[in-house]
């Protein structure tokens, strides 16, 4: 076996690879950029090598620096993780020429299947059903419009070297192509160093189902069943599961056989994923092949018991697969939620900043018989940089069946606490609670269908309203006792929005009893003290965990996706509170604000210029995503507050109208 492996990646996947290497007794080297000098991966690896500036084009995408790091450390092989150089056939060939093993498929397989344009041609020659589209390269925007109109709208504009939801847009009309084609090309160039684009028909209300394949250098290929990745936003996967609630045994076998046949046709010899777009009628079409490890590989590992990173290493070393197709079986169900640094309440825009608090749920078996796994490359105090993907961690749960796995995920998300930046945990737990998701009736339009006006949290259920009441009373009582040496009153008015609830608070041993009219709420098993950001307990025997923080008066309490500001007041204070005038929102109608922290790619107007409603005025980029800003009204520009190349904060004024 290899003695030393260099990991040409960063973040959670670098940490994930280190863990398997440690178990196998293999020394590790990580390369790192300026932004990752203090990262968890650097701390965990046996050796680390600095390779350049924060932009990937100056570090993780520079093959010469990776090779030099191998020479410096004596690493015999390179694991590329996903993204960056993981699907770059030229990089794989370069390593081969240098006598360094590439832990991934052979360069021919990468070229045949990793390139989105070539894979379509190859699949068509192999009589694999593919989505209708243009499989040649596209010269410019005019050419793209011509092709899109020949195929018929809607179409999907995709980077040939794309992956991870980057470099992809859906165009519903000519204007979308005019804007989307150059944007996708720019994203492709900055993320992958390859600006080739292709266009294909966009199939409405499809499901995204992919087959995990695994091959060795002796001609053997198996599949490890499917993953359903239909819950997507901006074409980036958000929630994945294995197996798929759509497939029956017959369809699963047919998709698996097609994926294996395709892999064998290119002598595939590592972990890879054959992606399909599937109809609700279980029809399916080959979409593309990712010739690398997938972000969502943990769910496959949880239902099969196979360590895919280990198998990639063993295959690269030349070992035969130690199992055949008949040895593999699906056990239980697994769900993965991607925890992103983004603000779900602001259109899921990237949120850059420091992890002031980072407290994931405990990993391992739970009392209910489920398993919790959290793949992360960060610690409390780490910074989420604008230069890379916004993922904080990947939270996975396993249970004997789908609903149990969903319930375990909901509970794990409920206890996951992050402060310092926006994160999508409230949104993820809202999906877990939705009847449609729980039913398994999914499509890639799911988020658009279920949250057409964006995400604003959920309305508190009766149980959650009671949780807010008892938690606020418990915290208020502790704070009141600390503030006085005398007796603390036991009659209060709990104010939560328009709800004014008179309560009596009493102690029954270790339990707190809150009486509201004829209703009695008993709070037990409390785990909280002042300053703690989470409050755990049991309400009438049902366990819960809330995220809590002090407000100007009262507390802000979040349980799952419901958030409420709650005050505990005397009767007189509650009366006065009702007389307070509502706070008016600031008038921002004449301003265009930066929707997120990021880099100004372009600012397309000048003072004195007349602008029409809908006209593009600026482009902001963060975490490899470009955001086009438009004027919401006709007007004349009074002030321009930034210029191309500037770094801006969320809500910073970019343009003011007269």
User: Tell me: the pLDDT tens digits for 140-188?
Assistant: 999 999 999 998 899 999 988 777 677 889 999 999 999 999 999 998 8
Domain CATH for 75:
3.40.50.20
Structure tokens that stand for 571 in this block: 């009767």
Closest CA to 375 of 623, 21, 13: 13
**Is 206 within a domain?**
no
**Residues 291, 328 contacting (CB under 8 angstroms):** no
* Distance separating alpha carbons of residues 166 and 188, to the nearest angstrom: 7
Asked, for residue 175, whether it belongs to a domain, the answer is: yes
Note whether residue 47 is domain-resident.
Answer: yes
387, two tokens: 């230069």
Instruction: Determine the Cα–Cα distance for residues 477 and 475; give it in Å rounded to an integer.
Output: 5
Name every residue whose Cβ is closer than 8 Å to that of residue 241 and which is 6 or more positions away in sequence.
227, 228, 299, 333, 334, 335, 336, 402, 405
Question: Is residue 153 domain-shared with residue 182, that is, in the same domain?
Answer: yes
Q: What is the pLDDT of residue 135?
A: 67
Same domain, 570 and 466: yes
Q: What does the alpha-carbon distance between residue 92 and residue 69 come to, in Å, rounded to a whole number?
A: 15
- Contacts of residue 143, defined as CB under 8 A and 6 or more positions apart, other chains included, come to none
| DSSP code string of 451-473 | -TT-----PPPHHHHHHHHHHHH
Residues 137 and 177 in one domain: yes
The tokens of 372 are what?
């919790």
- For residue 543, the enclosing domain spans 462-578
CA dist 202 → 133, 408, 503, 605 (Å): 9, 34, 56, 34
Judgement on whether residues 548 and 652 belong to the same structural domain of the protein: no
Residue 391 counted as domain residue: no
Asked if 302 contacts 334 with a C-beta cutoff of 8 angstroms, the reply is yes
Q: What is the CATH number of the domain that holds 505?
A: 3.30.700.30
> Does residue 114 form part of some domain?
no
Return d(Cα 289, Cα 278) in angstroms, integer: 15
Q: Is 288 a catalytic residue?
A: yes
Specify the CATH number for the domain of residue 604: 2.40.50.100
Dist. CA 398–CA 396, nearest whole Å: 7
End-to-end CA distance of the chain: 69
DSSP annotation string for 206-230: -EEEEEEEEE-TTS-EEEEEEEEEE
Please give the structure tokens belonging to residue 632: 């919401």
Q: Which residue has the tokens 């936003």?
A: 233
All residue ranges of the chain with pLDDT < 50 are none
Q: Indicate whether 563 and 610 sit together in one domain.
A: no
Give the residue from 101, 127, 126, 98 showing the smallest Cα distance to 112: 126
Residue 33 lies in a domain: yes
Give domain status of residue 469, yes or no. Answer: yes
Torsion (CA) 347, 352, 355, 361 in degrees, nearest 10 = 40
What lies within 8 Å, CB to CB, of 549 at 6+ separation is: 533, 555, 556
| Same-domain status, 166 and 79 | no
Three-state helix/strand/coil letters over 280-331 = CCCCEEEEEEECCCCCCHHHHHHHHCCCHHHHHHHHHHCCCCCCCHHHCCCC
Distance CA 656, CA 647 (A): 18
Which of these three, 201, 222, 250, is where a domain ends?
201
Cα–Cα distances (Å) from 263 to 143, 257, 392, 505, 610, in that order, read: 33, 10, 32, 66, 56
Please tell me the number of Cα atoms within 13 Å of 658 on its side-chain side.
Answer: 10
> What span, in angstroms and rounded, lies between the C-alpha atoms of 189 and 459?
42
Same domain, 652 and 554: no
DSSP 203: P
Q: Does 554 share its domain with 641?
A: no
Task: Supply the DSSP string of 528-567, one letter for each residue.
Answer: --TT-SEEEEEETTEEEEEEEEE-SSSEEEEETTEEEEEE
> If we measure between CA atoms, which residue out of 206, 207, 211, 233 comes closest to residue 221?
211
Domain boundary among 166, 201, 236: 201
> In sequence order, what are the residues at sequence separation of 6 or more whose Cβ sits closer than 8 angstroms to the Cβ of residue 595?
346, 347, 349, 620, 627, 629, 650
Do 522 and 604 fall within a single domain?
A: no
Nearest to 6 by CA among 113, 109, 98: 98
How many helices (DSSP H) and strands (DSSP E) are in the chain?
Answer: 17, 40
**Marked catalytic residue, from 87, 200, 288, 414:** 288
Give the number of domains in the chain. 4
Q: Which residue among 555, 578, 601 closes a domain? A: 578
- Is residue 365, in this structure, part of any structural domain at all? no
Cα separation of 69 and 119, whole Å?
A: 32
Question: Cα separation of 45 and 608, whole Å?
Answer: 56
- Whether residues 94 and 161 share a domain: the answer is no
**Does residue 531 sit in the same domain as residue 625?**
no
Hey, what are 586's tokens? 């600031």
55 with 88, same domain?
yes
């Amino acid at each position: 076996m290899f003695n030393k492996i260099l990991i040409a990646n960063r973040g959670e996947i670098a940490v994930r690879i280190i863990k398997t290497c440690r178990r196998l007794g293999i020394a590790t080297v990580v390369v790192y950029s300026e932004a990752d000098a203090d990262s968890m991966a650097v701390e965990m690896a046996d050796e680390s090598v600095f390779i350049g500036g924060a932009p990937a084009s100056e570090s993780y995408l520079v093959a010469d620096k990776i090779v030099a790091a191998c020479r410096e450390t004596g690493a015999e092989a390179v694991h590329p993780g996903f993204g960056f150089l993981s699907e770059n056939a030229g990089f794989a060939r370069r390593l081969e020429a240098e006598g360094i093993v590439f832990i991934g498929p052979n360069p021919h397989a990468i070229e045949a299947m990793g390139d989105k344009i070539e894979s379509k041609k190859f699949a068509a020659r192999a009589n694999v059903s593919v989505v209708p589209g243009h499989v040649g390269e596209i010269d410019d925007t005019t050419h793209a419009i011509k092709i899109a109109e020949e195929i018929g709208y809607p179409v999907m504009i995709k980077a040939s070297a794309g992956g991870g939801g980057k470099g992809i847009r859906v165009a519903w009309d000519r204007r979308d192509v005019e804007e989307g084609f150059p944007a996708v090309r720019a994203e492709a160039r900055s993320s992958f160093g390859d600006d080739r684009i292709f266009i294909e028909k966009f199939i409405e209300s499809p499901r995204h189902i992919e087959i995990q394949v695994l091959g060795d250098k002796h001609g053997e290929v198996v599949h490890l069943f499917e993953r359903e990745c239909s819950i997507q936003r901006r074409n980036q996967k958000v929630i994945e599961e294995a197996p798929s609630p759509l497939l029956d045994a017959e369809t699963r076998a047919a998709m698996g056989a097609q994926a294996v046949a395709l892999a064998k046709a290119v002598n595939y010899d590592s972990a890879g994923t054959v992606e399909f777009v599937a109809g609700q009628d279980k029809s399916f079409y080959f979409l593309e092949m990712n010739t690398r490890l997938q972000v969502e590989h943990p769910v496959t590992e949880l239902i099969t018991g196979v360590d895919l990173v280990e198998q990639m290493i063993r295959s690269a070393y030349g070992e035969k697969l130690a199992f055949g197709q008949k040895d593999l079986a699906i056990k239980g169900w697994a769900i993965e939620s991607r925890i992103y640094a983004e603000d779900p309440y602001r259109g899921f825009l990237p949120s850059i900043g420091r992890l002031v608090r980072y407290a994931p749920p405990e990993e391992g078996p739970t009392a209910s018989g489920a398993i919790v796994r959290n793949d992360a490359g960060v610690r409390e105090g780490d910074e989420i940089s604008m230069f890379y993907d916004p993922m904080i961690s990947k939270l996975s749960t396993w249970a004997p069946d789908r609903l149990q796995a969903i319930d375990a995920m909901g509970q794990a998300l409920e206890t996951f606490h992050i402060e310092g930046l926006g994160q999508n945990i409230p949104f993820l737990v809202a999906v877990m609670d939705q009847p449609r998701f729980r039913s398994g009736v999914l499509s890639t339009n799911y988020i658009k269908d279920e949250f057409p006006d964006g995400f604003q949290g959920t309305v508190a259920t009766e149980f959650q309203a009671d949780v807010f009441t008892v938690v606020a009373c418990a915290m208020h009582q502790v704070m009141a006792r600390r503030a006085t040496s005398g007796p603390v009153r036991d009659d209060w008015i709990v104010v939560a929005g328009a709800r004014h609830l008179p309560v009596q608070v009493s102690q029954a041993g270790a339990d707190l009893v809150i009486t509201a009219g004829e209703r009695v709420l008993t709070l037990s098993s409390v785990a909280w003290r002042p300053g703690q950001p989470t409050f755990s307990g049991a309400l009438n025997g049902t366990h819960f965990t809330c995220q809590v923080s002090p407000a100007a008066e009262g507390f802000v309490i979040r349980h799952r996706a419901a958030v409420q500001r709650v005050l505990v007041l005397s009767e007189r204070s509650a009366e006065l509170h009702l007389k307070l005038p509502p706070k008016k929102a600031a008038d921002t109608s004449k301003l265009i604000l930066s929707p997120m922290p990021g880099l100004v790619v372009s600012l397309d107007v000048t003072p004195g210029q007349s602008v029409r409603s809908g006209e593009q005025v600026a482009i902001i980029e963060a975490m490899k995503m470009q955001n086009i800003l438009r004027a919401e009204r006709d007007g004349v520009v009074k002030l321009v507050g930034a210029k191309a190349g500037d770094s801006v904060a969320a809500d910073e004024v970019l343009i003011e109208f007269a």
